[in-house]
Structures are given as structure tokens and as C-alpha cells.
Amino acid sequence: MAELESLNDRERQVLEAVIETYIATAEPAGSQTVARRSGLGISPASIRSTMSELEAKGLLYHPHTSAGRIPTDRAYRLYVDAIMRRRPPEEHHVETLEIELGSSASASEELLRRAAQVLGILTQELGVAVAPALEEIVLERFDLVPVTSDRLLLVFNLRSGTVRTIYVRVPVIVDPADVESVQRLLNERLAGLTLREVRATLAERLRDVGGGRSRELLDIIIAEGDGLFDIQERGEPVMLGSASVLVDQPEFASSEQMRTLLTLTERRDALREALAERRREGLVVTIGGEHGDPGLTGFTLVTSTYRRGGATGVIGVLGPTRMPYDKIIGLVEHTGRLVEGLLQ
């Protein structure tokens, strides 16, 4: 990448050493500390000079109260994309995940909650997860069940194993044979589509069906289609691990920073939107000011996708921008693959 090419070898080495020193110590990295920890074989004076050059390039800054430097969001981005050497998950972490999640695989929401909790404990960050959007999941079968003389229960059986129900009010008494006929037609014409596709093409797919009471019932379903087939939960529930793992981190020592964290965990709107936007294949790392929401500016969000029923969900962690990216990224990706396998 262009920004990495603008650095000479010494600048790259010192930047990597400063970032890793700051991640490990949570203290602004001074030249003496970097020289001692890094093993670069460079004098503290040379390191100090190089740090000044990196600061001029917008990759480091130093608090007024300290001579040490702290990485900027741009530095972390360069580190993650081009410098960092990713580590595979540690074997005992893999075993812990398999044991803890294997016992929760019978229920998808319970599995996701457990995954967020365990991933948070292993990374010492806040575990986060969101289920796939229901409208992207394939519909396997409809059941249409008479409840009263003027009410039917429409049952959606989704490929993910999820079942959702909704009542349909009909102004006429419907014969059970007509209900059965309509149920058969709905399954013939709509099963195998996602709920989004059903809602968009419902009238077209049922246009050529003949008359009679079956047609009347189908017309009612078509007329109410937007409401009937919009069964997406109002904002998918965000599943969180325990925020207590972050309390001891220096970034949350001030009451203001702690309030920001608590607001995120209590309201969850910002997290829900951020996670919903990440439903694409692979790993996504968003650092500090890269977030569109100012409430997330002080955080990094590392997520990986998993697939279920043809749709995509998200699992990952939220924490301060000072996090051990080399360890966390591999663990998040592994957890995503494990969750996907268990949900299959």
C-alpha cells in the first residue's frame, strides 16, 4: 500500500515496535522502552529521531504530559493491513471454544450468546454477535392454519430452523379445503425464495391463479403482503458478552470513557447498525475514527461473518483501539468458522 511504501525500513520497524510496545504496556512508548523491548539494535537516540519523523507523517502523537508516543488510527490501520504478522489461535483457546460452544449448539440464539461471551473472555474485549437478517433467509415451507372463522395463522418455516408466525384476518368464512389449496399454492410458488424475494414478487407469482374462494383468500394475502412478509425483527438483537472484562483496561479509567462504553451496551443502536453493515464475507476491522458513528470513535470493532440458511450473521469483539490485533483477528475468524459449522 502507498503509505507503507512512503516509509523506509527503519521507520517501518520503529513504527511496528512503538505500536506493539504501546499495546503491551498501555503507556506512551518512549525511545528507551522501545529500544529495550524491540531488540532492533538501534540506539534510543536514533529511535527518538525516527519517532519524530513518524509523528510528522501523522502516524504517532504524544500527549503533552509525556515524552512517549502513541499510535494514531492511521498507524493502526497500516499495522493491520501491511505490517502485522497474524498469529493462529492458541490451542487452548481453540479447545475452550469447542467445548463451550459445542454444548450450546441446540439453539442458535443461545449459541450466539455463548460465542459472544466466550470470545470476549478469551480476548479480554467485549464479545458481540448478531444473527442473520431474517429477510435474507430462504423460506422452506408455509403452513396455513385456521384459528377462528375469520382468522388464519400463517407459519413461516425458514431454512435456518427458525419458525415465525403471523395472523391473517379474513372478512369471509373460509372453507378448510380452500385453506389447504392456498397453502399448497403458496408452497409451490414461493418456497425456496428468500423473504425479501417473496415480498418483492408475491403478486406476480400468484397472478395467474384461477377464481373462487381460493382466489379471494390469495387476494387478501397479496393485499397485505408487505406487512405479512416483513417479519424481520425490529433491529436484530445484538448479543453481548460481559463488559466487565473491559473495566480494568486503562482506556476506561475515566468516568467519561466508561459512560461511553455503558451507553453502547445499554442502547445498542450504534452497535446494531455497525454490525448489520458488516454482513459481507470475511473479516472486517474498523478502527477509531473510521466508524461512521462518533460514539464508536474510541473503539475498534473486529468481526467475521458466518453463514446460516443462506444468510450471513456477524461475530466479533469491540474494544479500545489499543488491542493485540495479531492475536484477536485469528481468534475472531476461527470463532466465525466454528459457529457456522455448528449451525449447519
pLDDT in tens, 262-282: 888 887 888 888 888 887 778
Task: Tell me the whole-structure pTM to 2 decimals.
Answer: 0.80
Mean pLDDT of 55-81: 91
Give domain 91-132+236-343's CATH architecture.
Answer: 2-Layer Sandwich (3.30)
Averaged pLDDT score across all residues of the chain: 87
Residue 283 has pLDDT above 70, yes or no: yes
Give the start-to-end residue ranges of the domains of the chain: 2-83, 91-132+236-343, 135-228
pLDDT of residue 1: 62
pLDDT of residue 93: 95
Percent of the chain residues topping a pLDDT of 90: 41
Q: What is the CATH number of domain 135-228?
A: 3.30.390.60
Residue 321 has pLDDT above 60, yes or no: yes
Residue 235 has pLDDT above 60, yes or no: no
pLDDT of residue 334: 96
pLDDT of residue 115: 94
pLDDT of residue 107: 60
Phi/psi of residue 85, each to 5°?
-105, 110
**Nearest CA-CA partner of 188 in 138, 255, 220, 141:** 141
pLDDT in tens, 90-138: 999 999 999 988 876 556 778 889 999 999 999 999 999 998 877 777 8
pLDDT in tens, 145-176: 888 877 888 888 887 667 778 888 887 777 88
Are the C-beta atoms of 191 and 202 separated by less than 8 Å? no
Give domain 2-83's CATH architecture.
Answer: Orthogonal Bundle (1.10)
